Structure 1
Amino acid sequence: RSEGGPARPRGLVLLPTRELAVQVHEVMEPLGAALGLHVNAVYGGADIERQVKSLRKGCDIIIATPGRLIDLGDRGELNVEKLDVLVLDEADRMADMGFMPQVEWVLRRIAEHPHQTLLFSATLDGAIDRLVKRYLTDPVFHEVASDSQTVSLMVHHFLTVHQMDRIKVAAAICNSFDKTIIFCRTKRGADRLVEQLEKEGVDAAAIHGDLRQSQREKALADFSADKLAVLVATDVAARGLHIDGVDCVMHFDPPEDHKAYLHRSGRTARAGSTGVVVSLLLWNQIIEAEVIMRRLAMKRPVVEVFSNDPRLKDLANWDPTKEMAAS
């Protein structure tokens, strides 16, 4: 950067959540250092003045969430017009979260400068397709197909539970695994579930957008380091995170659709290891679960359980389909 002028990075990685920004920065910073490049991460929920100070020391590659990027642009601390490479990570999630105007803000500013755009997305539909058609020149599509569909490396259970017994069932399942991620639909629901699980003797922490950045980072770090057995998350907070050794993903609240089911469930059985995915269903959520199974061409029985059911202790090896055939 010229003395006193805005930072002019050559590379920008744009992604939807702070956690993902932190994780990508941890991987890229040592790689950049080896090449003599300054890699900075800028995201909301952290001190903007400290981020500005860091940018002023030097900045070749920026990893950013959309809101904070625009803030820094508006303050004259950052200019993206000379980008050589733009990476849009979890592009479909950015579209779902309403970040397309900010993404287009960047694309408009670099339109005149020759650059490469890399767009990573689990799905390429709707807003993403429009973005590709409008801003990308002669795009090439690469699809990475895993050797076996990830779903098949997971053991899936759909369990009906009773409202009054639901927390106890969740606790029984958590106690039978070393590392469980539980998904809730709302931030308040996640906080409430952490409190209820702790009353059942399960050590849990929540991760969602209303928590301070330091709280979110601590919960993630403790979970990653095996100091915490259960992480309760909202969809947004957990998107794209890679945490090793997650044995179980629990859908405490049903996912919005089959795509959300896959994204959530993908926190386990990563990189070829196996994992258990369990959905806890109240009686009025069974139809939703059946729709998801149909969309994913999965056939699984929906089984009623209570918290004292011994089968909850070994979900990885329990096959309700065989049980039903035998009876």
Structure 2
Amino acid sequence: MATDLATSLQERGIHTPFPIQALTIPDALAGRDVCGKAKTGSGKTLAFGLPLVENLSHAERRRVRGLVLVPTRELAVQVAKELRPLARVRGLELAPVYGGAAMEAQIKQIKAGLDIIVATPGRLIDLIDRQVVSVAKLEVVVVDEADRMADMGFLPQVEWILRHVDSRHQTLLFSATLDGAVDGLVRRYQTNPVRHEVQSRQVTVDEMQHRFVAVHEMDKVKVAAAIIRASNRTLVFSATRHGCDRLSRKLKAEDVRAEPIHGDLRQKARERSLARFSSGDIQALVATDVAARGLHIDDVDVVIHYDPPPDHKTYLHRSGRTARAGESGMAVTLSLWNEELEVKRLQRRLALDVPIVEMFSNDGRLDALDRWDPVAEVV
């Protein structure tokens, strides 16, 4: 890697490459198409970002020559934030474009001259249709989180964009899985890609503590508030956008600093809530499953399933946010009387033999759920 880019990374405290970076960067720098299998949080942003900046540094400026496609607005902002210092070292202009924000401001940025855009598919197609930007002569295309693109129904839009790239170009694709629709994307839009895979350590039920609490409808918010107060940073999952808003208001009425994050909110509000949560200004973020996708949030010590998850995969995906980077955490599922059978089915799928224990909001055990053993108590 060039000295100036290495220095930029060192100034940010980055000294050693992650496994996915060590595997993919040499091939990407050589101009090869790369197909990388790695999960969120594995360091793949720099795995494609460093070659992207390096390979675009020696050509015409202020024309969009590099594109990073991402599934969500939050990820677009995060990727742009991480890559912007590297781009500046080489005098490249980079910006995110996504739906939910003023299109006029994004158009103004593009017309002022950008080298790289980090875009969600829908907004990029809008800009192409308005002839504000062209992908015909791109030199490097990155498809990030391809599996989530598939899950969210964005692959037709991604393929439409890729079909409109007429020039010879390098394609870097990263995904947590490389089967099914993602494999079709690789076969159709990459040329002899070199494949690299980092064995992803799946978060397992053994890596976190599990508590299942039977609550009463009128007391449910107070129970959630008690758990949040006893924790450092809590991610709360609600089944619907309306439920997020309602729960956030009720938690605030309990003197809990909580804010919602979901697709109906304006982008600036989502970014502000995420930043306040990351900095510790608020105690809880109340999210839908879709809104939480692509968010990289560290140091979550408790996940509350305010609404029980629909299946065991969702339970693991939600709960896994509290067992990152080798840290253990706790997942708490709140269950009303009419949800008990559903929760027990979920436990069987997860092979979890943990009792569902009734608690009221004044129960002292809520102040230290991590030190309370429900299994030992029942035995």
Q: What TM-score results when the alignment is normalised by the length of structure 1?
A: 0.88
In the alignment, which residue of structure 2 is the partner of 1:59?
114
Q: Which residue of 2 aligns with 1:79?
A: 134
Deviation at 1:8, TM superposition (A): 4.9
Is the counterpart of residue 266 in structure 1 residue 323 in structure 2? no
Aligned-partner residue type, residue 315 of structure 2: Y
Q: What is the aligned counterpart of 1:300 among 354, 357, 374?
A: 354
Task: Answer yes or no: is 1:191 the counterpart of 2:245.
Answer: yes
Does 263-272 or 18-27 show the bigger shift?
263-272
Is the Cα contact below 8 Å between 1:81 and 1:113 reproduced in 2? no
Which residue identity does 2:82 align to in structure 1?
A: V
- Give the alignment partner of residue 224 of structure 1, picking from 271, 275, 278: 278
**In the alignment, which of 139, 150, 163 is matched to residue 217 of structure 2?**
163
SS in 2 for 1:267: helix
Alignment-mate amino acid for residue 257 of structure 2: D
Over residues 69-113 of structure 1, what are the superposed CA-to-partner deviations in whole Å (9 max), with x where a residue is unaligned?
111111112222333433333323322322121111122123763
Q: Name the aligned partner's letter for residue 311 of structure 1.
A: R
Q: What is the match of residue 35 of structure 1?
A: 90
Give the alignment partner of residue 234 of structure 1, picking from 288, 312, 316: 288
| Counterpart Cα distance in 1 of 2:84 and 2:198 | 27
Tell me how large the CA RMSD over aligned residues is: 2.3
Contact 1:153/1:274 (CA < 8 Å) preserved in 2? yes
Secondary structure at 1:206 match in 2: strand
**1:248-263 map, 5 Å:** 248-263=302-317
Deviation at 1:297, TM superposition (A): 4.0
Q: Report if aligned partners of 1:38, 1:60 keep a CA contact under 8 Å in 2.
A: yes
Name the residue aligned to 1:90.
Answer: 145
Q: Which of 290-299 and 312-321 deviates more?
A: 290-299
How far apart, CA to CA, are the structure 1 residues paired with 2:65 and 2:226? 51
Give the C-alpha shift of residue 254 in structure 1: 2.1
Mapped to 1, the partners of 2:185 and 2:256 lie a distance apart of: 45
Does the 8 Å contact 1:19/1:241 carry over to 2?
yes
The question of whether the paired residues in 2 share the 8 Å contact of 1:22 and 1:41 is answered with yes
CA pair 85-284 structure 1, distance change in 2 beyond 3 A: farther
Return 150-159 or 33-42, whichever deviates more: 150-159
Specify which of 300, 320, 339 is matched with residue 246 of structure 1.
300
Distance 1:169 1:213, change over 3 A: same
The correspondence for 1:181, drawn from 231, 235, 250, is: 235
- Matching residue's letter, 1:40: A
Deviation at 1:193, TM superposition (A): 0.4
Q: Which residue of 2 aligns with 1:23?
A: 78
Q: Find the aligned partners of 1:256 and 1:10 in 2 and give their Cα distance.
A: 42
Determine whether 1:309 maps to 2:363: yes
Matched with 1:113 is: 168
C-alpha spacing 1:269/1:320, structure 2 compared with 1 (3 Å): same
Aligned counterparts of 2:206 and 2:161: Cα–Cα separation in 1:
39
1:163-183 Cα shifts (integer Å, max 9, x gaps): 222111111111111211111
- In structure 1, runs of 5+ residues without a counterpart are 1-6
2:121/2:154 contact within 8 Å kept: yes
| Dislocated runs of 4+, deviation >6 Å | none
Q: Following the alignment from structure 1 to structure 2, what is the Cα–Cα distance between the partners of residues 93 and 45?
A: 19
TM superposition shift of 1:141? 5.0
Counterpart amino acid of residue 214 in structure 1: K
Task: State the identity %.
Answer: 56
Report the CA distance shift for 1:94/1:289 in structure 2 as closer, same or farther (over 3 A). Answer: farther
Matched, 1:10 2:72: no
Q: Which residue of 1 aligns with 2:10?
A: none
Which stretch shifts more, 123-132 or 213-222?
123-132
Indicate how the Cα distance of structure 1 residues 274 and 78 shifts in structure 2: closer, same or farther if over 3 A, else same: same
Seen in structure 2, the aligned counterparts of structure 1 residues 290 and 112 have a Cα distance that, compared at 3 Å, is farther
Unpaired runs of at least 5, structure 2? 1-61
Q: Which amino acid aligns with 1:117?
A: L
Tell me what 1:280 maps to.
Answer: 334
**CA shift in 2, pair 1:275/1:185, >3 Å:** same
Moved more, 218-227 or 88-97: 88-97
Distance 1:306 1:160 in 2: 9
- Provide the aligned length of Structure 1 versus Structure 2: 317
Match of 2:43 in 1: none
Q: What per-residue deviation string (whole Å, max 9, x for no partner) do you get for residues 232-280 of structure 1?
A: 1111222121223222111111223333222222322322222211111
> Match for residue 102 of structure 1?
157
Counterpart residue identity of residue 12, structure 1: L
Relative to structure 1, is the Cα distance of residues 69 and 270 closer, same or farther in structure 2, using a 3 angstrom cutoff? same
Determine helix, strand or coil for the equivalent of 1:178.
coil
CA drift of 1:137 comes to: 4.3
